[in-house]
A and B are shown apart, each in its own frame.
Chain A
């Protein structure tokens, strides 16, 4: 139930982050930390502030107060592109793929390999080759590499989105409900991919409502409630009941405290 004693500098950390939306306090001095090479799950009930916290950490919104640190150094993430430069990538629930383009084009969307400055002729062969490499490394098997992404199954599309994030993330990837729309087999594959990513040294933050899944793949679980971190567990040492308790506040009431900070 307590934080493991930090022996390493977290690859990404939030300290006391505050965010207001009008009169609503979405993040109330929220904390978060992800260590290098781990899968950490971020859970919380609806309205707990997960999405706001994630957006702050990927540069989509700017917090009103608090600190965000990358490798222990405070940074100011001005935009998602800025966050990408720090090696932070995200896979959103809507995947943000262009359905009419093929997987390689989607992988390199916005980061195309081009020839000749200004004219920017696409180096399709290089992008295709590297995309295939990237897919293979994650064990992703696409039947037709030239097919439009919109014709692929939900699981395959998910894989493309994940591969894109993995291909460019040097530090950490955020995944928002990656298995929500998938069938059983596909879900298993995505979890495999998450483990492989972690094994390559890139951390993964998994935002999920699926408790069993969280316990199956995460190393640690951080719980958000009412805009702040109320608990942090080692996955192997906790249970679904305990997690749910932390999320809903039942645990706090039982312990008579606000949880560890």
Chain B
């Protein structure tokens, strides 16, 4: 039998301890998980508040660890959140490659100029990897990224062509870019609808998207590239640096995208829902997460990133490069998988994907510089990819058995 005390508590603490309303950064003792009987306050004082650094749960009554160990433990935990075991491996592999090529081609490979060229040439890949990471984390896949890139570039350039062409103003470029981004997000959202409402597997939906968006781009352009991208776009964003720095705009924009969305993935509820849905969509649904709506957002995000990639590509090449992005999807997906993400969803990080993209990029440029046939790159990437996926499968099977 419960007292009137807990009756009041029930009305005040509906389901969610801590609540979700704005400004709930204050952690109050009254808001501990609802425990009718009114002894939650007392219990909160008794159990230790500080989680232990090495992960061992402490029995109630043991005094909390010292401040220094707490700080060290917090750093260790934050570190562990940013990088897991599989990323460490890929990071080591990347470092080994960089060291090797720097040794083989000193002053050439390991020059600011070379890194700058590598960064800009991979800018649109990097941006697409950001979106693809979210998608793969939900146990989905987006094969249409290269086609959406082209579509977005076509729409943006089409707008600019009708409003000044090569001499289009920044305002026109801005509007064209927004249209391109919107096109990308729209294509992505349509795919998201296909996955959630039509219940077609992502592989099929995005394969269809790849074909359809490619076709649409060819229809709009009549089969031939638009050739007069705005000069301002090409000379500033495509070829220029951030004023006062040696940092190319292409690198600045792509890295900004990685950082912003990497933080969102790691530290926000949107990111956690992405992991949860990939890990167990039914559990997410039962927990009250709007799974379908979230998935549509994730695919729209992938489309948005492909749209941004389209603008960057347009700025770099000066044309819509209709036929030159057919297999970008493989490059991007390889990057995400090499980076440790599981195709079954639920595992992976943004940092891992970045490293996973960097490895083939470094291999390609490094091998080119030292004059080795780039088929070695294909062999190397193929082998590492199979190894990475096997490890993923093995881990997955282990977990299923547990």
Q: Do chains A and B touch in the complex (CB under 8 A)?
A: yes
Q: Report the stretch among B193-201, B272-280, B354-362 that lies at the interface.
A: B272-280
- A109–B284 contact, CB under 8 A? yes
Partner of A201, one of B20, B36, B56: B36
Give the residues in chain A near B275, CB-CB below 8 Å: 98, 100-101
Known contacts A121-B267, A129-B51; is-contact A113 B18 (Cβ 8 Å) = yes
Partner of A167, one of B14, B33, B51: B33
Q: How distant is the Cα of A201 from the Cα of B284 in the complex, in angstroms?
A: 28
Report B-chain residues with C-beta under 8 Å of the C-beta of A109: 276, 283-284, 287, 289
Q: Which of B323-343 contact A (CB under 8 A)?
A: none
What residue of chain A has the Cβ atom nearest to residue B61's Cβ?
A136
Is there a chain A Cβ closer than 8 Å to B297's Cβ? no
Contact B51 A128 (CB under 8 A): yes
B51 touches A130 (CB 8 A): no
Interface residues of A, Cβ cutoff 8 Å to B: 8, 36-37, 80-81, 84-85, 87, 92, 94-101, 105, 109-117, 119-123, 126-130, 132-137, 141-147, 150-154, 166-171, 200-202
B1 / chain A contacts, CB cutoff of 8 Å: 8, 36-37
Closest B residue by C-beta to A137? B43
Say which size band chain B's interface belongs to.
35 or more
Answer whether A143 and B55 are a contact pair too, CB < 8 Å, given A111-B15, A112-B272, A123-B25. Answer: yes
Residue B245 CB within 8 A of the other chain: no
Contact A144 B402 (CB under 8 A): no
Residues of chain B at the chain A interface (Cβ within 8 Å): 1-2, 6, 9-10, 13-18, 20-25, 27, 32-37, 43-44, 47-52, 55-57, 59-60, 77, 80, 267-270, 272, 275-276, 278-280, 282-284, 286-289, 345-347, 399, 402
Question: Main SS of chain B's interface residues?
Answer: loop
Q: Please, could you name 16 A-B residue pairs with CB atoms under 8 Å apart, sorted by A?
A: A98-B279, A101-B346, A109-B287, A112-B269, A114-B24, A117-B22, A120-B270, A123-B18, A132-B47, A132-B57, A137-B47, A143-B56, A167-B17, A168-B33, A170-B9, A170-B34
Most buried by B among A132, A142, A151: A132
- Cβ of B77: which chain A residues have Cβ within 8 Å of it? 146
B282 in contact with A96 (CB, 8 Å): yes
Residue of chain A at shortest CB distance from B48? A132
- B280 CB to closest chain A CB (Å) equals 5
Q: Once the chains bind, are A201 and B34 in contact (CB under 8 Å)?
A: no
Are B14 and A85 in touch, CB under 8 angstroms?
yes
Q: Given A80, A97, A122, A150, which contacts B267 in the complex, CB threshold below 8 Å?
A: A122
**Distance A85 CA – B14 CA, assembled complex (angstroms):** 6
Is the beta-carbon distance between A151 and B402 smaller than 8 angstroms?
yes
Q: Specify which chain A residues have a CB less than 8 angstroms from the CB of B17 in the assembled complex.
A: 111, 113, 130, 167-168
Given contacts A114-B268, A167-B33, 10 further A-B contacts (CB under 8 A): A36-B1, A87-B10, A97-B283, A101-B346, A110-B289, A111-B15, A121-B269, A130-B17, A136-B59, A168-B17
- Report whether A133 and B32 are in contact in the complex, using a CB–CB cutoff of 8 Å: yes
Given known contacts A36-B1, A126-B18, A101 and B279 CB-to-CB distance under 8 angstroms:
yes
Query: What's the nearest-Cβ distance from chain A to residue B20, in Å?
Result: 6
User: Assuming the A-B contacts A136-B60, A146-B77, A200-B37, are A110 and B279 also in contact, with contact meaning beta carbons closer than 8 angstroms in the complex?
Assistant: no
A100 to B20, CA, bound (A): 24
Given contacts A96-B283, A202-B36, contact A111 B16 (CB under 8 A): yes
Alpha-carbon distance between A142 and B34 when the two chains are bound, in angstroms: 22
The interface centre, meaning the residue of B6, B52, B272 with most chain A CB atoms within 10 A of its CB, is B272
User: Is A170 touching B36 in the complex (CB atoms < 8 A)?
Assistant: yes
Within the complex, which residue of A85, A135, A136, A146 is in contact with B15, where a contact is CB–CB below 8 Å? Answer: A85
User: B279, A100: Cβ atoms under 8 Å?
Assistant: yes
Q: Is the interface of A mostly helix, strand, loop or mixed?
A: loop
With A99-B346, A110-B287, A120-B270 in contact, do A168 and B15 touch (Cβ < 8 Å)?
A: yes
* Residue pair A97, B280 in contact (C-beta under 8 Å): yes
Q: Contacts A100-B279, A171-B10 known; A144 to B55 CB distance under 8 Å?
A: yes
Residues of B contacting A135 in the complex (Cβ-Cβ under 8 angstroms): 57
Measured CB to CB, the nearest residue on chain A to B20 is A114
Q: How far is the CA of A113 from the CA of B23 in the complex (A)?
A: 11
Q: Is the CB of A111 within 8 A of B288?
A: yes
A97 to B289, CA, bound (A): 13
Q: How far is the CA of A150 from the CA of B44 in the complex (A)?
A: 28
Inter-subunit contact B268/A147 (CB<8 Å): no
Q: Which residues of A contact B402 (CB under 8 A)?
A: 150-154
Residues of the B chain whose Cβ atoms lie less than 8 Å from the Cβ of A129: 27, 49-51
A101 to B137, CA, bound (A): 12
Task: In the A-B complex, list the 6 residue pairs whose CB atoms are closest, starting with the nearest.
Answer: A110-B287, A100-B346, A167-B33, A98-B279, A144-B55, A120-B269
Contact A96:B346 (CB < 8 A) given known A114-B20, A150-B402: no
Report yes or no: A201 in contact with B51, Cβ–Cβ below 8 A: no
Shortest Cβ distance from residue B70 to the other chain A in the assembled complex, whole angstroms: 11
**Interface-centre pick from A116, A130, A141 (highest chain B CB count, 10 A):** A130
By a CB distance below 8 angstroms, the chain A residues around B16 are: 111, 168
Closest to A147 in B: B55
CB of A216, distance to nearest CB on chain B (Å): 23
CB <8 Å contact, A99 and B399 = yes
Which residues of the partner chain B approach A101 to less than 8 Å between Cβ atoms?
Answer: 272, 275-276, 279, 346
Contact A133 B57 (CB under 8 A): no
Q: Are B51 and A132 in contact (CB under 8 A)?
A: yes
Within 8 Å by CB of B56, from A99, A114, A144, lies A144
Q: Which residues of A contact B345 (CB under 8 A)?
A: 100
Do the beta carbons of A201 and B43 come within 8 Å of each other? no
List, in ascending order, chain A residues with CB within 8 A of B279's CB.
98-101
